[in-house]
Chain A
Amino acid sequence: SQQGEEDPQALSIQEGENATMNCSYKTSINNLQWYRQNSGRGLVHLILIRSNEREKHSGRLRVTLDTSKKSSSLLITASRAADTASYFCATATGRRALTFGSGTRLQVQP
């Protein structure tokens, strides 16, 4: 079963625009992670935010976490065509394995 659900399922924007993806989850977590997957390839770890953190930045990425609402958002600023990919949130709970959401497909038009 999947813990996280991303919203929207698909997103199409123009280069230079910002892209925002949301993730909701159901149970308490230790941390939440975001991954990117280019078509048919392995996933690439983008950023990890712990349950006691509210916001984290990495380059053009900004992640927020609201544990009271059990939700997170990933913002990609000044998007590029190379950002076209699927983005997944994943939650870590105790010693259990990472549980992935269903993903958001991002298309950045040049």
Chain B
Amino acid sequence: KAGVTQTPRYLIKTRGQQVTLSCSPISGHRSVSWYQQTPGQGLQFLFEYFSETQRNKGNFPGRFSGRQFSNSRSEMNVSTLELGDSALYLCASSLGTEHYGYTFGSGTRLTVV
């Protein structure tokens, strides 16, 4: 079956702009989680959506937002980009219950200049 698809793979944006990243989970998976990965901070949890509802949220400013559609596809948006937002953004899907692992996409590499 198809894996987790993230688009785009690479993105270059200018400070102050906004960006939208997309994630299509594995068919049948209702949970989508987003993580930010940087060399200095490692893997930081952004938010998790389950059946179109935000179930968990990490400690990121309100500039970071997300949503999930009825087909489980998810988007995350970052407004007013800052240089520090440059990172690999990873999306993971799962069945949403506690004893299943996550399947990750290949990520979107965002560079803010």
Contact = CB atoms under 8 A, between A and B. Distances in A.
Nearest to A94: B98
The interface residues of chain B, by DSSP majority, are classed as strand
A95 B4 contact: no
Interface residues of B, number: 26
A103 B33 contact: no
Interface in B1-49: 4, 6, 33, 35, 42-43, 45, 48
A97 B57 CA distance: 8
Contacts of A33: 101-102
5 contacts: A2-B43, A44-B104, A48-B99, A98-B45, A98-B102
Interface of B: 4, 6, 33, 35, 42-43, 45, 48, 55-56, 58-59, 88, 90, 92, 98-107, 109
